[in-house]
Amino acid sequence: MSNTFDVIIIGGGVHGASLAFHLAERGVKPVVLEKRFIAAGATGRSSGLVRMHYDLLVESQLAWVSFGYFRDWEDRVGRPSTGLRPERNRRAECGFTKTGFLQLVRPEQTPALQANVAAQRGLGIATEVVSVDEVRRLAPGFFLDDVEAAAYEPESGYADPTSTANSLMNAAKAHGAVFMQNCAVTTIHTTGGKVTGVSTTQGEFSAPIVVNAAGAWAKGICDLADVDLPLSTWRHDTMLVKRPPALRDPHLTVIDFPKLMYFRPDVADLTLVGLEDGNPLGQSADGDADHASPGFVEAAIERICERIPQMESAHFHSAHSGYDAITPDQHPALGPIGPDGFWLDTGFSGTGFKISPAVGLCMSEWILDGKPSTMDISLFTPTRFAEGRHIVGENPYDSIWT
């Protein structure tokens, strides 16, 4: 096999796979170098929410474009290799499951919620502001004394991140991309200020473009390219509980700002719960991700029972952790920086899965055509930090990073 390619992508998570797919669709030959295996990092630990509600409109637009992929996965990415029919309400090989989505906010955040929903409706997103009485109809059994309104997306839900990444990578390989697992990058080579390739634990690879999509390990890859970027890591824990018989039917997918948590149904009468606070920053991405942090399970159980009192009869199933890259403004770092040919596709700060199809598409356009045509993502340029610019939503909610 020749080790000369058009583009080298470092990182085999959903964003590396998405970019490889979109590049290969255009006839470009990328190679994806992954030091472990597909979805071994943040992707494999992602909660997989698929929703469009953000307080930054460009992220809602990315989520909206991506939603078209999740909804029509077989037509846009590929059909199941098994030939089996997908489970009802699921999109084969990405596992998209429509549950409906609620964004709960504190009463003082209602004006921002209303403004964000209005802007999202302007993009064509199926979303509306609903009263607390309507929330009670949509989510019977929820305790809602701390809520006066919510955003509701009837078409949203969740998907399977590992299946999504594998499906994208398989489709990329069908178009000529190459995937190398157990292949850690050790050196990035440059000549005359231009990228020429990389050294890895499996040899040398040459390309005029190198894309850092290494997630929680992206800071180390930047260091190899002599790029100083304020990337850090954040650790996130999730748990699964088995719902009691009274709650056997799946519930909505919910982001719950008053309780600083999110939750969604999962297979086999399970509910996945994550907390928005208490997530440590700056830890090694190689830390223990097989166990949740001390105290997490107790806090998560308390909060889900506060929101859904009948969960008092639920049974704990399991818990684990994961690491992702985070930027100072909690928005992604996308675009060229440093030596000519070095690009970033990282820093998604825990909300990157749902926008991955559109980010890969826009990044492929930017790399190949000089600018993205699907939508302008130059706002996320990684040079903004050196310029002292941070991204803030048009109608921002309070920071949840506490």
Residues 173 and 89 in one domain: yes
At 5, which CATH number?
Answer: 3.50.50.60
Are residues 169 and 145 part of one domain? no
Considering the chain, what percentage of its residues have pLDDT values greater than 90?
94
Q: What is the pTM of this model?
A: 0.95
| In a shared domain, residues 8 and 147 | no
Same-domain status, 171 and 311: no
Confidence bin at 16 (pLDDT 50/70/90): very high
Quote the pLDDT of residue 79.
62
Q: How far is CA 314 from CA 242, 267, 344, in A?
A: 6, 15, 42
Greater confidence, 400 or 87?
400
| Total number of domains in the chain | 2
pLDDT class for 301, splitting at 50, 70, 90? very high
Question: What is the pLDDT, as a whole number, of residue 398?
Answer: 75
**Is residue 358 predicted with pLDDT exceeding 50?**
yes
The residue from 311, 326, 341 where one domain ends is 326
Looking at every residue in the chain, the average pLDDT score rounds to 94
- Regarding whether 264 and 226 lie in a shared domain, the answer is no
Residues 188 and 318 in one domain: no
Cβ within 8 Å of residue 387, ≥6 positions away: none
280-287: average pLDDT: 94
Segments forming the whole domain that contains residue 186? 1-95+158-231+327-402
Q: Which amino acid is present at 227? A: V
140: domain CATH number is: 3.30.9.10
Percent with pLDDT over 70 in the chain: 95
- Assess whether 320 and 401 both reside in one domain: no
Per-residue pLDDT tens digits for 52-65: 999 999 999 999 99
Both 321 and 392 in one domain: the answer is no
Q: What is the mean pLDDT of residues 39-48?
A: 95
Shared domain check, 171 and 143: no
Same domain, 103 and 115: yes
The residue among 185 and 88 whose pLDDT is bigger is 185
Backbone φ/ψ region at 21: left (φ over 0), alpha (ψ -120 to 50), beta: alpha
